[in-house]
């Protein structure tokens, strides 16, 4: 029952990560992404998916999809209904699922964050309805597969699993909120394990939207740089298999890391602009630390939201500097949006997996195009590839509408 629920355990169980899948413009899967982020490679190129000839910005981080999707329980007819977004989600979920060693099951919560889901179907629907109003072919299919919950159900079908699907859409914080929600389900005894993450694909509407806002860079995405001039868009997906430590130990599963903290709140300042001093960011970082039982001194790296826009980065820099206090001077921070762009609803999930990579492989992802720090940054930006002793990572995500979220992950050793 969703209500009343069973009594929560007296002590919340530890929640570990036993599977992780990632798809970005740097590649498909853990290995190419880890290599790319470790070296600070960037993945931007001219947009090929739709016409951008009349936009201010012309590049983005597009994913190269494979010719064939992984073999699952879905047939060719079902796979034909996958758009780019669903395809990236399937790839990431499949990788996480394989790694977790989970077997098909009933009642497996699937918690996803997205801003646009199957938007490409929505765009195709609109174009046909507007341009060929008497032509109805494919429209019913588009009207159904446009909806992210349908895509999520298809992914569960692909794995042979079933369970409650929850789609969180808090704009660019969606991925982090989804993971945080799944973490809470497990901590409060409502599930022993959960599949969670985020996904979004590049679409014309969204690209045009950020371009209209003049939020897209026309040069290079340089988060926290004094000369930054905007964000770059990307696409992709990341999924994690979360379960209680007890469950993982019971089946002797390899543990990739531990999710130890989560904070979320809403910034009421403006629909698209954060509070200048990052009040809500500060609050969610403090909340996440409180749930994790760590202090700024315990955090070894921050994967910042760091979009590369003037307003976001100055607000986040103020919040990080305030939150970290004296620790700020030596606390490494970077934004991996410099490498793969802003993945919107997938960003929080992808950046959580990147954080996991830093914990597993003991390196920090650099912003190789970074030049001059913004004066609000009282912390060092990771600029060059380097190894590091990383035990605890904090990852920030903020969205249009003001929802902020922070996740804290710990190395499993």
Q: List residues near another protein by CB under 8 A.
A: 1-8, 54-55, 107, 114-115, 117, 122-123, 125-127, 129-130, 133-134, 136, 139-140, 143-144, 147-150, 153, 156-157, 162-171, 177, 181, 184, 188, 204-205, 208-214, 264-266, 268, 271-272, 399-403
Is 188 part of the annotated catalytic residue set? no
Q: Which residue among the candidates 94, 172, 377, 378 is catalytic per the annotation?
A: 172
Q: Least distance in Å: CB of 276 to another protein?
A: 16
Residue (5 or 330) nearer to another protein, CB: 5
Q: Least distance in Å: CB of 67 to another protein?
A: 26
Q: Which residue among the candidates 94, 181, 305, 378 is catalytic per the annotation?
A: 305
Q: Tell me if residue 385 falls in helix, strand or coil.
A: coil
Of 201, 232, 228, 223, which is closest to residue 56 (Cα–Cα)?
A: 232
Q: Which residue among the candidates 275, 342, 377, 378 is catalytic per the annotation?
A: 342
Please give the DSSP secondary-structure letter assigned to residue 56.
Answer: S
C-beta atoms surrounding 402 within 10 Å: 21
Q: Tell me if residue 161 falls in helix, strand or coil.
A: coil
d(CA 352, CA 407): 8
Please provide residue 60's backbone torsions phi and psi, each rounded to the nearest 5 degrees: -160, 175
Runs of H (alpha helix) within 235-390: 245-250, 279-292, 310-324, 337-340, 347-361
Q: Least distance in Å: CB of 158 to another protein?
A: 11
Is 221 part of the annotated catalytic residue set? no
Residue (214 or 326) nearer to another protein, CB: 214
Q: Least distance in Å: CB of 118 to another protein?
A: 11
Q: Least distance in Å: CB of 59 to another protein?
A: 15
Residue (20 or 173) nearer to another protein, CB: 173
CB within 8 A of 262, min separation 6: which ones? 179, 180, 183, 184, 287, 288, 291, 405, 406, 407, 408
**Residue 311 has which token pair?**
């307003």
| Cis before 4? omega within 30 | yes
Is 172 part of the annotated catalytic residue set? yes
Residue (93 or 170) nearer to another protein, CB: 170
Residue (22 or 168) nearer to another protein, CB: 168
Of 107, 22, 91, 85, which is closest to residue 349 (Cα–Cα)?
A: 22
Active site amino acids? 172, 305, 342
């Amino acid at each position: 029952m969703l209500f009343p629920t069973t009594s929560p355990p007296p002590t919340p169980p530890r929640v570990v990560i036993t599977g992780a899948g990632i798809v970005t413009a740097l590649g498909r899967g853990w290995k190419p992404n880890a290599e790319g982020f470790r070296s600070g490679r960037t993945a931007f190129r001219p947009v090929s998916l739709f016409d951008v000839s009349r936009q201010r910005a012309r590049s983005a981080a597009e994913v190269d999809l494979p010719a064939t999707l992984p073999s699952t329980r879905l047939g060719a007819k079902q796979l034909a209904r996958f758009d780019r977004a669903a395809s990236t989600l399937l790839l990431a979920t499949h990788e996480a699922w394989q790694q977790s060693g989970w077997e098909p099951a009933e009642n497996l919560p699937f918690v996803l964050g997205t801003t646009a889901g199957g938007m490409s179907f929505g765009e195709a629907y609109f174009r046909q309805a507007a341009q060929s109003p008497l032509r109805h072919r494919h429209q019913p299919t588009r009207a159904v597969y446009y909806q992210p919950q349908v895509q999520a159900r298809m992914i569960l079908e692909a794995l042979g699993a079933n369970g409650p699907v929850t789609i969180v859409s808090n704009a660019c914080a969606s991925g982090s909120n989804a993971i945080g929600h799944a973490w809470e389900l497990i901590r409060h005894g409502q599930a022993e394990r959960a599949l969670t993450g985020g996904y979004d694909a590049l679409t014309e509407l969204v690209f045009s939207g950020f371009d209209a806002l003049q939020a897209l860079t026309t040069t290079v995405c340089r988060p926290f740089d004094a000369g930054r001039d905007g964000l770059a868009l990307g696409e992709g997906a990341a999924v994690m298999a979360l379960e209680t430590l007890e469950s993982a130990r019971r089946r002797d599963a390899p543990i990739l890391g531990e999710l130890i903290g989560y904070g979320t709140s809403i910034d009421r300042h403006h629909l698209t602009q954060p509070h200048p001093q990052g009040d809500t960011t500060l609050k969610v970082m403090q909340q996440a630390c409180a749930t994790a039982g760590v202090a700024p001194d315990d955090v070894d790296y921050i994967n910042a939201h760091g979009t590369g826009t003037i307003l976001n980065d100055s607000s986040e820099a103020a919040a990080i500097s305030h939150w970290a206090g004296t620790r700020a001077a030596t606390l490494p921070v970077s934004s991996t949006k410099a490498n793969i762009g802003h993945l919107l609803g997938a960003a929080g999930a992808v950046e959580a997996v990147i954080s996991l990579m830093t914990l597993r492989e003991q390196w920090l992802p650099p912003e190789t195009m970074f030049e001059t720090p913004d004066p609000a940054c009282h912390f060092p930006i990771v600029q060059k590839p380097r190894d590091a002793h990383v035990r605890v990572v904090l990852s920030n995500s903020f969205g249009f509408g003001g929802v902020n979220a922070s996740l804290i992950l710990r190395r499993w050793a």
